[in-house]
Structure formats: C-alpha cells, structure tokens
Structure 1
Amino acid sequence: MTWRTELEQAAARLREAAGAADRAERLIAASASRLSADDTERRRLALAEKLRAAAAGAATGWLGADLAAIAPSTPVWTDEPSTPAIRIGEAELDDAPAFPALAGLLGKGHLVCDADAADPRVAGMLQSLLLRVTAAHRNLEVSLVDGVTLGQVFAPATALVDAGIAGPVATDHLALARILTAAEKRLTELRDISARGQSIADRPFHLIVIAGLPPEVGKSMRERLAALAHAGPSARCHIVLCGWRNAPHREPVPAIEHATYLSCNANEVRLGTLPLPVALDPAPSPALARAVYGSRAQQRREAGELSVADLVPAELWTASSRHGLTTVIGRDQAGSATGGDVEVSFDDATPHWLIGGRTGGGKTVFLLDVLYGLATRYSPEELELYLLDFKEGVSFTEFTPSHLDPSWIPHVRAVGVESDREYGVAVLGALRAELTRRAGLMKRAGATRLARLRELRPEVRLPRIVAVVDEFHVLFAGNDRLAGEAVAHLEELARKGRSYGVHLVLASQTISGIEALYSKKDSIFGQFPLRVALPGAKHLLDEGNDGADGISVGQAVLNDAGGIRGRNRTCRFPDASSAEDLLTGLRHQLWERRDSDAEPIVFRGFDEQHLTEDPAFEALAPTHAPRALIGRAVDVHMSTVGYQFDRSPGRHLAILGTSAVAADVLAAGAISLGHQHEPGTVAFQIAVTAVGVDDTAAEVAGELERLGHECTRLAPGSILTGKRGTPTYLIWFGADGADGHTARLRDLLLHGPADGVHLLGWWRGARRFLDDIGGSAGREHCAGIVALNIAANDLAAITGGYERSWEARSNRCLVIDRHAGTETLAVPYVRPGRLDGLPSQDAPARKVETR
C-alpha cells in the first residue's frame, strides 16, 4: 500500500468522526430544548441540597459548621467526634456556594496542599481548620510548623502553646527535625503497645500542622515526612502539610499516602477528585478564636492540675491491702479524656519502685503525694510505713510528732531523719527479719502469697509494709562492711518482698556509680519494675528511652516495665508543699482515728539524747541485775543501751576518748545505777582527776544522795586505797595513770566484782588505758568498753579485733560487752546543750588536763 492510499483512508475516518460529533451536538441541543430553564435550576438546587445534607451528617458541630455563624459563647465539645471528616471550604457551582467541601483527617488520614500559608487562602483555611479541630477534639496534642510566615499564621493559637496543648511553633529545619523525632518516638511507642494487644484508643491524637516548610528542608527530611505519613494513621498521628510541591531543579517530592490533596492555582482551588472548584474557608473571627482556644486551654489546665485533695478518697481507710496497695498520684498529661487520674500500685506486677530526679526535681513532693494517698485509703491494720531520709532531714519530719504539733501519721512505725547508714542497715535488717517471720507463717499455713495467708490466718496482723529510702545511694556509699550488709538485705527484700507484702521505694538522683551494687545491679534493680522519672533523672529508664527528657518540675514519667520503651506514661502531680494547711488537717484526722497512742520511733541522727527523756530510765526500779544506761541504740526501735553489772570477773566499764561527752556518759551510768538499788544497800565513791568536770561530778553526787545512797568524794591518792566492805561503785572521772597505783587498779579489776565492787572509769587515752590494765593480757579484766573519739587501730588493740571497721564521729559511741559478745552503735546520753558547744569529733580533740 502506497502512502497516498494511507492518507486517503485517514481522511475518510476524520470525516466520519466529524459527522458523529455533529450528530451528538444536534442531539444535545434537541434535549436541552425539551427542558425548561426552571426545571434545570430545580434539579441543580435539589442535588446541592442533598450534598449539603450529606456533608452535615459527615462533619457535625464544630467540624462542619459555618464558623461565621457560630457565636463566641458556643461551648467547645466535651465528647470526641465519631467521624474523621472536617470542613475546609465550600464547593462552588456556577460561582455560587453549593455544599461544604470535606476532607478526612483525625482518625483517617492527612491533608496535603501544594500552596503554603503565604497564600492568604491557605492561611485562612489553616486557621479555621485548627480552630475546628481544637473545638471538637478534647484529646489532642498539636505540633505547629511555619517556615514561611515565621509563626504569624498561628498567632491566634498562642493560648494552646501556653497550655501545653501545642508546642512552640517551629520555624526552621532544626525545630522541625525535633518535632519529627518526637513524633517518630511516639509512633514507635504506640505501635509497641498495639503489638502487645493493648488498646491505644484513649491516647491523644497528634496533629502536625505545617503551614510551609522551612527553606533548608532537604530530601532526607521530606522522606521522613512521607514515612511518618505512611505509618501515622495507625498510631493516631495525622499531618496537614502545606507547600508540598515540586521545585525547579530539585528531586520530585515523595507521594504522601492516606492523604487528600488540595491544589491551588491563581484561578481556582481543587480538592481531591471533587469535580467542582472550592472556596477555602476564611480565618475565623478574633473573638471566636480567643473563645475557643482560651476555653480549651483552661480545660487542659484544669484537667492537668490535680490538688492534694484530689488524691484523698471520699471515705478514709475503706480499702483492703490483701491483694496490693493502690493510690492516685497524678493526672495524665492529655487530660481526663484518657482516663484522667493516674494510679500507681504495690502488687505482684510492681512490687518495688525506683524514683529518680535531680535536687529540686520534685522527689519529696512526689513521695508526700504517694504517702498521703496510701495513708488515707488504708488503715494502720492494712499498711505500715518505714521512712528513711539520708539527706537534709526534711522529707519525713511532718509524719512525726514535734513540740509544735503532737500529731503523727499512725501508719508510721519508724522514721529516720538525716539517718546514719547504720540505722538504714538496721531498718533493712528488721524488714528482712519480718520476711523470715512471715515465711514461717506461710509454711505452717500452706500459703504461697500474703493474700492467701491472710485468708487462712485472719487473726494474725499482717499489714503490707512500704519502706521508703530517700537518697538511698548514701546507704551504699563506698565498698565497706556496711555497704555489703545493706546490699545483702536489699537483695533479699527485693527478691522475696512481693510474696510477703514488703515493698521498697528507693529514691535518688541516680542509680549509677554505686560501687557496692556493681555485681548486684541487675539482680536487684531488675526487681523494681515501676520507674518514676522526674526532671533530671539519670540512667533510670532503659538506654534509648529518653521519655523523661524535657519534662518540667511537677511532671513525672511512669514506666511499669523496668524502663523499656513503649511503656511510658507522663503525668502531672500536685505540689504537696503548697498544701500545708490541707496536709495538717489530714494528719490530724488520721491521728484522731488511731487505736494506739504508741508514737513512731524517730531517729534523728543530729539530736542529743538525754537520760531523763528515755522511757526506760523512767521505768527503772530496784533489781538484782542493775544496768548502767549509756545511750540509745542506732536500731529500728532506738533501744536503750546499757551495761549490766554482776559478780562475774571483769564486770567493769571503761569509757574511752578525749571528748567531754565521756563525762556525761559516766554520769548517766552512775545515776541510772542509783535508781536500781534500794537506799543503803550500795555505796558510791566519786573521784575527779580531770579538769572541767567538777560540776558534772557534783550533780551526780547530789542525785545519788537524793536517792538515799551513801556517796563519798575521794581525793587523789586515796582513790584505790580505801576499804570496801559493802557493794560499791567507783565512779572515776579521769582514770588515766591509775592515780599512780596501777597494781591496785589491776587488783580491783581482777577481784572487785566478786566482792561487789565495780569500776566505771573514763580514760582519755586508749593506749594509756591498755597500759593501765596490764596490756593485752588484761583485756578480759574490763569487759565493758564505750568507745568515743578514739582511732580504729587503738580500739582494735584493746579488743584484739584487728578487722574492726570503726569510724569515730560526733554524737556516736560504740558499746562493747566482751562477755556477751555484743557491739552496739549508740547515741550517747549527754547533758542538754552539750553538743552545741563541742567541736566535731572528726577534728583533733582538745587535750584534757589531769590533776
């Protein structure tokens, strides 16, 4: 076939097509002529009405209404919308509004526009869209980005930023990157939660509104946006993305999945596949914007602000601790739409807690909230508290009675204020002993859990125990004997506590760098699934979990899975320190409901101890086994420490150290002995060979004479020479050098007890004492030692215990009874005000002269 033939056939086909077009045109004209103009308008109006009705059903209330017709007094919604549609403008037919133009957003997908907020039409649409979403969705978090007007388009929404609903507007690529990073982290966490079969329906929607991309945004960030859009809807993350268009000489922008596209040119706006142009909604009125944003911001503040009163149940002491302890601690950052109040528990799932945060980060306030919440829900029959503070001593003072307020929290059994490490170890040891007791009860009852034991043995008092240790890292400082004991107790309590109803709360600035826990860190802290990260918390959550970064004072990140990612919940908790009157009233209510007048044991490491204030002294009566009272033990109950006298060889007492406190200890021992003998049955001899203690010796003599005892003042040179035909106590202030009669001193030490003669003496020098008693061979001749400010090696030389770990410090003494095999750290009795005028025992001691 030639080219001419082909050309003729093509011309024939064109003539046929032209004829068909002419015939179609004639048919359309004929059909139009059969329809009246009125009928066409009626059908058009009917269709538009149907579309308006459909739009009204798809986008209700704030999401679909004409904002110009809404009064500023109209309340924002309190219930979440059931549909994802939102109005962005009106579709136009013949240049007239026909019906609302809708896009699917929260709960469905994204909105993408090729123009940015530099176009007034787009700016108005963004402002109206943000207002609609804010008014309709209570459970919402917003991120704002504006790289073209530098935040001006979002200026009406400043109240959202102030209330924390929206973050500060990002205007550069670095701030945008931070928003994307936070969104990606949130998406990962919610995806992990969903993977575990848990619902995320109560989590807030996260809406990212980008009015225009900053100019520095490159390919990688655009790809991150596309990836976030791909995974976002399944994790309640949605994007309004403006300015998403190809630029000359740059790679094409990636497609945004799950999105409705909005295209804007100079003449018209088109929405998705809608075959009509769209007139975008203009910006809402300033009055309406202020009303909506202000109302929602106020709701957020009210939802997030929980007072201490909100932690207290309507009725006190109605809960049972059989299966665990639970209290409200704060309110979810997203407000009450997510369930509101945040509860924490001590149970099988979260038996122990770790709390971390910098100084001033809110640890004390958080602990007060927890303790008052528990103490108002559970009675003392259901809950016991042990509270230790190793810092300034202010955390738990209000739980104890004082001279200003005699009330206390009746659940509290022991409180350590500015505690010694020894006291902390003693408390842990006592709790471990309670574990052993409860284990025995369970074995005999055939139970494996506390709840079951309480069912089988209802007559046995078995409250749950919560022990709180603030600044616990002090307890494990160094790597000495005490630290080792503390670790052993802690490991046992952490492993077995859940079964026996003993729960631990350890609070500190950090859990890293504790040498004594290096080998036990995982085995111990692995038993602490609940982590409470406050501002400044370090190493509390797992590596890679930075959920606590950026939180402020009054906020906490709770993680019930040992700190792993995906289990964070951020809440705001009330400031108990600003509710002093309320807490005082609560404390009095609880105190008045107590069924016992037994006060909690309060160990104040810095307080003086006075003989006359010890209940054990008040209870003294004549006995065949008298004890010289020395001080109060550094143990859970602050037991009275004494040294018993009998006719066994070596029953004497030596007080060693240069501190003037030794004179007070000697005085307390003598006076307490005087209260344990009938008048006339025993004699006291008082010798003073040290300068500066005459007043103390005179007070002792006066008190003993008042009790009806014979009391003789011995002069130097006659101290060890008098006849002793009756039971006698020789009270010697300054026995150094044995008054020149060391042989007689050794004879007294060796044979005196059999004759009822006992020596209570004060030696300033430990080495001199050892020489006076005859060196190491005479150790057994004085079985009682009270060590004050003497060196560890000197004490070891006296006792023969060369492995002794003793460190002298102010207001402490070590009481040793060689016959009983006991060593007791104690707070010695002193005269009132004595410590106010003494230098620290850590400093070189002042020499006391001998006459």
Structure 2
Amino acid sequence: MTWRTELERAAARLREAAGAADRAERLLAEAAARLAADDTERRRGELARRLAAAAAGAATGWLGDDLRDTDPNTPVWTDPAATAAVRVGTALLDGAADGPEPAFPALVGLLGKGHLVCDGDAADPRVAGMLQSLLVRITAAHPNLELSLVDGVTLGQVFAPATALVDAGIAATVATDHLALGRVLTAAEKRLTELRDIAARGQSIADRPFHLIVVAGLPPEVGKSTRERLAALAHAGPSARCHLVLCGWRNLPHREALPAIEHATYLECGDEARLGNLPLPVVLDAPPPPALARNVFGSRARQRREAGELSVADLVPQELWTESSRDGLTTVIGRDQAGHTAGGDVAVSFDDATPHWLIGGRTGGGKTVFLLDVLYGLATRYSPDELELYLLDFKEGVSFTEFTPSPLDPSWIPHVKAVGVESDREYGVAVLGALRAELTRRAGLMKRAGATRLARLRELRPEVRLPRIVAVVDEFHVLFAGNDRLAGEAVAHLEELARKGRSYGVHLVLASQTISGIEALYSKKDSIFGQFPLRVALPGAKHLLDEGNDAAVESVGQAVINDAGGLKGRNRTCRFPDASSADELLATLRRDLWARRDSDEEPVVFRGFDEQHLAADPRFEALAPPTHAPRALIGRAVDVHMSTVGYRFDKSPGRHLAVLGTSIVAADVLTSAAVSLARQHEPGSVEFQIAATAAGAEGVARDLVEELKAAGHECRELEPGTILTAPRGKPVYLVWFGADGADGQPGTLRDLLLHGPAAGAHLIGWWRGARRFLDDIGGSAGRESCAGVVALNIAANDLAAITGGYERTWDARANRCLVIDRHAGGETLAVPYVRPGRLDEVVETR
C-alpha cells in the first residue's frame, strides 16, 4: 500500500470524526435547548401558580373566583367583603391567549382603595362583559352598597341584567344622557360632602354604604366641566367611600386633553388589553352566566326589600315596660336606608343631647304614621311610671284617637293623660300652661332636694312619682295663628318649656309642614327652635333642615334624621313602618298595655267638635243636697282636664246669670243650670219659676218643667205680666227663656237684680240681644247687678260693652261659650251642655 493510499484513508477517518463531532455538537445543543426550555416552562408555571395563589388571597370568593365555574345557587355574602381587590380578567405570561400557557387572575383595587378607568366603553363586547362580571362580583360580595349606573353608549342595555337592583332601590335608574349624569354627580358630591364633614368631626363612617358609580360609556354631550367634576370626585372619593368604574375615558381628536383620574388603575383596550403597570396582555372576563347573574341580583334585591318591609312589631321590644327613663327615653323608629345589618336599626332619644324634636312633612307625607311608630315604641318600652303622654292634634284628623277608649274598644294607652282631637288653640295653650306648671313644681322639688337633674332627683326622692313627659303637638303652627293674645301666651309657654324642659324631664315634639312664616315666632325663632336639635324631615318638609341641607326625601315611608339642628353632614335616612296598616297588631298592643294598667283613670279626651251633655258629667252625678252655695253647671272647660264650669249662687248682690246670644243653645244652657241646681236642693225647699217668652223655646221650657216636677220640686210656669212678681217666702230661681225687654218692667227687673239674692231670689235669664240686655239692667251703671254672663254668638265689641273691657279677643263660634264671673274675676272658655243632637239641629237650620 502506497503512502497516498494511507493518506486518503486517514482523511476519510478524519472527515467521519468531524461529522460525528458536528452531530454530537448539534445533539448537545439541541439537548441544552431542550433542557433550558424545560426549566423556563417549569419556572413560568411555578410563577403563575404563585401569582394565582396571591390573587386568590387578595380577592376571595365572589371577588376572585371564575364565574363560569361558580354554582348559580351560591349564596351572596351577608358580611362586607374584607378585601379591596376584585378580578376583571386573566393575565397571560407569554401573551398567547389560545394555548395552555400559564395565567393568573388580573385584579384591581376598587372599593376601599381606588377607581378603575378604561379607554374602551360598553360598545366593545370585551368591556361590556367585564362590566357585567364586575357588577355581579361587587354586588355579591358587598351587602352595604349603593350603585349609580351611567350608560351613554348602549342606553342601559349593558345593565339590563341588573334591573332587580334598580327595582329594589340599590341602584338608581340608569342615567343615559348628560343631564341625568349631572344629577348623578350632584347627588354623589352632596353625599361626599356630608361624609367628609362627619369624618372631620372625628366620627366613623365605616358603617356607611360604599357608593359605586359605574359609567359604561359617557354620553356624547359631556363637556369639559362634567369631565372635571368626574376627576374631582375621583380625587376626593376614596376617603368618603365613593369609587368609580369609568369607561370610555379617552382623548378625542380636536378635544381638550382629559384631566387625570387620581387613585385609579387604567385599563387599555387595544388589540390586546393591558391593565395598569402589568407588562402582560389581559383577557377580560366574559359576561357571567345568566342564571348566576339572576341569582346574585335577585338575592340582593330580596334582602333589601325584606329589610325595608318593616312592621310596627319590628319596633316593639320582646318584653314590655322593662326600661327606665331615669337618664332619658329611647326608641327604635326604623331601619337605615341601606336596609341591612351594616345600616341597622335607627334609634332616637329624648335626653340632654336631644331634648326636643321637630318633625316636618306635607299632608300625606307620613307624619301621623311616624308619630304612631314613635308613640307605640315608647309606650311598649316604658311603663306609665316612667312616661306620660300629652297629645294634641290641630288638624281635622284622628291622629291620636288610637290611644283613647271608644264605644267599640274600651281600652286605652295608660300612659296618655290628655288627648286633643281637632283641638282649640285655647286647649293647646292650656296644655302648654299645665306643662309649664309641672316644670315649676319639679323645679321646687329639685331645689329642696339639692338636685340639678331629674335623674338625681329621682335618686334622692324615690317616693315621688316623676315620669318623663312627652308632649306631641301636630300642626303646631295653628297655635300661633293671628299673632294675638293667645299666640303670645303660647310663645311664652313654649319658650319656657323648650329652655328648661331637658332639666326637668319634659320633652316636646312639634310637627308641621314648615317652621317658617309664623309671625308670632319671628323674635323667638332661634331661642325656641334652637332647643330642638333633633329634626325629622319627611317628604314635603320645608325649612326644617339647615339652609343648604336639602336632604329631605320624596319617598313616603322614609325620613331624614338629623341630630344637629339640621346641619349638613348629620343626616341619616331611614325607613319606618306603616302603622296605619297594622290595625290588628296595634289593637292587640293597646289591649296588652291596658291590661297592665294600675289605674282605671281614663285619659281626658278633648274633641273640639263633640257635644257635651250634662248627664255624662260625673260631677253632675255627684251633686246632692244640701248645698250652702249651689253651683249651676254650664259646660266643660277648654282646659287640660276638661273641668266642669259652673256658677255659684249666694246672697251677694248681683249673683244672677245672663246667657247672651241668638243661638237656641242658650235654652239648653238655662236647662242645664236649672237641673243641676235642682239636684242640690231637697225637694220642696226651693221654687222654680219658668217663663218662656222667646219664640222657639217653648218646648225646651215645657221639658224643663216636667223634669223639675219629676224630681219633686215646686215648679211654676209664668205668663207675661206675671214674671217679675215678688218671691213668696222660699228661695226662688227664675228661669227666663227670653228676657229681652224685661217683660215691660225694667225697673222691677233692676230691683230684682239688686235686692233679690239677699232674699233668696236669683235670675237665670236668656237675652238674645247683648245691647238689649245692657239697656234692661240700666246701662253700664248696672253691670255689677248681674255678675254672671255666658256669651254665645255675640260679637266681641258687644261683649266688651257689657263687661266694660276696652279690648276683647272673644271669637264667637259654634259649640263654645265664654263664662264670665265678674265677682271672681274669671273668664273660662267652655263647651256648653246641650241636649243630645242639638248641634246637628243647629247646622240644619243654617
């Protein structure tokens, strides 16, 4: 073998080795590449698992779960979510959305943290799905939530699945144009201001609902000012529990640059969605399954409705009369408007901080219902030894008849001492005067005991009954109508009670449509209403809250409660039950309370339109002979206790009684006087002389004669010309139906008036004309000859001429009389005794 042959063989072996090396190198490179890829995939997988675990911890349950895998029957949360993060989609580690590449939930900080801002709007199906999914998550996770929805792109279609939230009041009606958006922003700004004011005073707002404004797309008319308002709201919102999901926030050609949205995470929806600083593409969540959305929105709506469907039973404690009023009175009146446990029951108090209340609302706005809720709440918590009630209603209604006995139901609320239905102003002033007298009594007790507060006095004098007193005056402005003497008295009483009531346990509740325009209160408005820190604004309330605080609701069954005299920032809206629809429950409560009473003393009920009958007066039944100075009963006083009004007859000169007015009621007054006097004399010991010269009074006179004879009394009927004869040796009452003209014997009449009482002769006469009466008794010089006057329908100036007064505030009206005793120096407004059905007859003859 030659050297050339060996060389060729060696070259061949070398080439073979080189090829093997190349192959080995390639194999090693490929192996290395495969090893590197396996390590990266492992590490990426590990990273994805760690990120997913972190996301699961940051957004738990409803806030982070994949809604496609969530059972539609999963219950919504009843406790507020503890985390601020919420899922909006899925982040991909390598950007491939169509493979099994590692991924993890993409989260944003929202409620309790900040905002979400997206340049796309609901016209993009990706954004629409993300919004619907986000709304389901937030609603399911947060029971304490209020929503404002705005959609200027699909005109509300994107929020169609959430209709149940709108119906339940959790979300307002979807705003679809720039005007409605403006109203949403105004309401949000007002709410934000109130919560910031509360927080500035050091009070917690943690129990207030989150307010989430979801904008699916801005209406096309939105301008620079609206965008700036949105930016300002975003700036201040998180500190006041207000957050935004703002879609469609993008710069447009030939438009000014958008203001920055602070505290926000930005979502860009280009070919690939990008979230904030996350350097990865994001696949936004698809719309949730319809069944799941229906369950979440329907469950939350049912919870809100059930929480809002209150009854009086929800306000009543399980056990009656278990609480002490030593330091004040407290009752539950309703539930926070949020309607869930976070809002809770709303309780109000009568105490040193809120001694008196003002309640405002239009007719039909719920004042009566609200007052019934309050009164039943108090009466079931506190016994009559802890609480007394005085109730006045100045409108034509039956607000408080609920608390009094009736022919159909003899029970009553034992706390109630006096009730006025369609009350006279005089009755209202009398009640305020009685309460003021009670202040004076308690002030004396405190002074003698060395106490400065009611609670301390009750400790020092446990044997003295000292319940707290609540006086409710509905339509109280009627008290001050006319700016007259009565209005002045009412103002004086009210000012004293308002200033001193808290110290002595006397509390006022004044209810009306407005507190403005009351002339008699112009100079006292601040000194009086400044003592009423608790304000309850019902629909239609005017000037009740502070200027600029326009929080009064328009929905019947809701109230704005403000415990700072109406100042902004102290409002709380609550729902209260409709007591008027719980007749059976209230009747049961009333009977239960009545059965527990310690006394059979019924409340005094003043019904301004009711007749008064002599036979129904227990004081008439108690009359018996002999009586040294018999008292003719005339009617019932317009005072707290509806006292019996009478006129005494004795031997003093001038002890006669004149009834003045054209009304046939005068005949009934004469009859009541004579019958009541007859009960105070032994039969046969006195003579009654009856004269009837007034047309229309003959029947009444005959009935009186029969009644007196039936009682065993001597009774003589007189004819004209014989009326003014001298007495026959025994006491005589001359009852004269129609004394005008003095039977043609004015001199004899004047002699009887002057000398008759000393001889036991007294006149009870009816004059239809006041001027005629004055002439018959001898003019102004004879005023003292007849000390008793009962004024019916006579003019104030005629009455002034008879009494010698220069000014007279008497206002003649049906079913009222003014009883004057010149010797006693007293004037009493009264409801005269009449025969049953008399007022109906009077109305029919008009």
Range class of TM-score, shorter chain: over 0.9
1:472 aligns to 2:476 (yes or no): yes
For 2:752, give the aligned amino acid: L
1:236 aligns to 2:241 (yes or no): yes
Q: 1:170, 1:435 → 2: CA distance? A: 56
Match in the other structure for 2:389: 385
For 2:390, give the aligned amino acid: Y
Contact 1:202 1:337 survives alignment (8 Å) = no
Q: Aligned to 2:182, which of 177, 182, 186? A: 177
Q: Aligned to 1:423, which of 404, 423, 427? A: 427
Q: 2:615, 2:136 → 1: CA distance? A: 73
What whole-Å deviation, never above 9, does each CA across 1:609-638 have from its counterpart, x for those lacking one?
000000110000111110000000000000
Deviation at 1:338, TM superposition (A): 2.6
- RMSD after superposition: 1.4
Q: 1:403, 1:470 → 2: CA distance? A: 25
1:154 aligns to 2:159 (yes or no): yes
Aligned to 1:374, the other structure's residue is in SS state helix
Q: Aligned to 1:190, which of 187, 195, 218? A: 195
Aligned to 2:306, the other structure's residue is in SS state helix
Match in the other structure for 1:90: 90
1:72 aligns to 2:75 (yes or no): no
Deviation at 1:352, TM superposition (A): 0.5
Match in the other structure for 1:834: 838
Match in the other structure for 2:415: 411
Aligned to 1:336, the other structure's residue is in SS state coil
Match in the other structure for 2:58: 58
Q: 1:646, 1:327 → 2: CA distance? A: 55
Match in the other structure for 1:40: 40
Aligned to 1:838, the other structure's residue is in SS state helix
Match in the other structure for 2:525: 521
Aligned to 2:92, the other structure's residue is in SS state strand
Aligned to 1:328, the other structure's residue is in SS state strand
Contact 2:303 2:340 survives alignment (8 Å) = no
Q: Aligned to 1:134, which of 110, 135, 139? A: 139
Of 57-66 and 713-722, the range deviating more from structure 2:
713-722
Contact 1:77 1:138 survives alignment (8 Å) = yes
Match in the other structure for 1:605: 608
For 2:817, give the aligned amino acid: C
Q: Aligned to 1:714, which of 718, 733, 741? A: 718
What whole-Å deviation, never above 9, does each CA across 1:108-154 have from its counterpart, x for those lacking one?
01001111111100000000001000000000000000111111100
Contact 1:204 1:236 survives alignment (8 Å) = yes
Deviation at 1:724, TM superposition (A): 2.7
1:568 aligns to 2:571 (yes or no): yes
For 2:158, give the aligned amino acid: V
1:789 aligns to 2:780 (yes or no): no
Match in the other structure for 2:681: 677
Q: 2:696, 2:37 → 1: CA distance? A: 124
Contact 1:305 1:331 survives alignment (8 Å) = no
Count the aligned residue pairs. 813
1:167 aligns to 2:162 (yes or no): no
Give runs of ≥4 in structure 1 deviating > 6 Å: 29-32
For 2:156, give the aligned amino acid: G
1:616 aligns to 2:636 (yes or no): no
Deviation at 1:701, TM superposition (A): 1.4
For 2:267, give the aligned amino acid: L
Contact 1:654 1:785 survives alignment (8 Å) = yes
Contact 2:727 2:761 survives alignment (8 Å) = no
Contact 2:473 2:509 survives alignment (8 Å) = yes
For 1:62, give the aligned amino acid: W
What whole-Å deviation, never above 9, does each CA across 1:28-51 have from its counterpart, x for those lacking one?
x99963834323222221111111
Q: 2:31, 2:269 → 1: CA distance? A: 36
1:143 aligns to 2:143 (yes or no): no
1:585 aligns to 2:591 (yes or no): no
Contact 2:312 2:582 survives alignment (8 Å) = yes
What whole-Å deviation, never above 9, does each CA across 1:315-343 have from its counterpart, x for those lacking one?
00000001000000000011233341000
1:316 aligns to 2:320 (yes or no): yes
Deviation at 1:97, TM superposition (A): 5.4
What whole-Å deviation, never above 9, does each CA across 1:436-475 have from its counterpart, x for those lacking one?
1001101101111111110110000000000000011111
Q: 1:433, 1:32 → 2: CA distance? A: 104
What whole-Å deviation, never above 9, does each CA across 1:488-529 have from its counterpart, x for those lacking one?
110110010000000000001111111111111111111100
Match in the other structure for 1:462: 466
Q: 2:643, 2:543 → 1: CA distance? A: 39
The residue correspondences of 1:714-753 to structure 2 (distance < 5 A) are: 714-753=718-757
Deviation at 1:694, TM superposition (A): 1.9
Deviation at 1:786, TM superposition (A): 0.3
Contact 2:337 2:343 survives alignment (8 Å) = no
Match in the other structure for 1:634: 638
For 1:590, give the aligned amino acid: L
> Normalising by structure 1, what TM-score?
0.94
Match in the other structure for 1:202: 207
Contact 1:306 1:573 survives alignment (8 Å) = yes
Q: 1:246, 1:202 → 2: CA distance? A: 38
> Normalising by structure 2, what TM-score?
0.95
Q: 2:247, 2:443 → 1: CA distance? A: 66
What whole-Å deviation, never above 9, does each CA across 1:604-663 have from its counterpart, x for those lacking one?
010000000001100001111100000000000000000000000000000000000000
Contact 1:809 1:840 survives alignment (8 Å) = no
Match in the other structure for 2:124: 119
Deviation at 1:551, TM superposition (A): 2.9
Match in the other structure for 2:704: 700
For 2:668, give the aligned amino acid: D
Structure 2: runs of 5+ lacking an equivalent:
1-28
What whole-Å deviation, never above 9, does each CA across 1:146-180 have from its counterpart, x for those lacking one?
11111110000000000000001111111111111
Q: 2:725, 2:385 → 1: CA distance? A: 61
Match in the other structure for 1:484: 488
For 2:324, give the aligned amino acid: S
Q: 1:319, 1:723 → 2: CA distance? A: 67
Q: Aligned to 1:665, which of 659, 666, 669? A: 669
What whole-Å deviation, never above 9, does each CA across 1:281-310 have from its counterpart, x for those lacking one?
000111111110000000011122221101
Contact 1:646 1:753 survives alignment (8 Å) = yes
Contact 2:635 2:645 survives alignment (8 Å) = yes
What whole-Å deviation, never above 9, does each CA across 1:410-453 have from its counterpart, x for those lacking one?
00000000000000000000000000100110110111111111
Contact 1:387 1:467 survives alignment (8 Å) = yes
Q: 1:605, 1:443 → 2: CA distance? A: 39
Q: Aligned to 2:536, which of 502, 515, 532? A: 532
For 1:113, give the aligned amino acid: C
What whole-Å deviation, never above 9, does each CA across 1:79-125 have from its counterpart, x for those lacking one?
11111010000011331451101111001010011111111000000
What whole-Å deviation, never above 9, does each CA across 1:159-213 have from its counterpart, x for those lacking one?
0000000001111111111111111111111111111111110000000000111
Deviation at 1:722, TM superposition (A): 4.0
Contact 1:90 1:97 survives alignment (8 Å) = no
Percent identity between matched residues is 83
For 1:611, give the aligned amino acid: L
Q: Aligned to 1:448, which of 443, 448, 452? A: 452
Cα distance change on mapping 1:31 and 1:743 into 2, 3 Å: farther
Q: 1:48, 1:70 → 2: CA distance? A: 22
Q: Aligned to 2:363, which of 359, 379, 388? A: 359
1:503 aligns to 2:507 (yes or no): yes
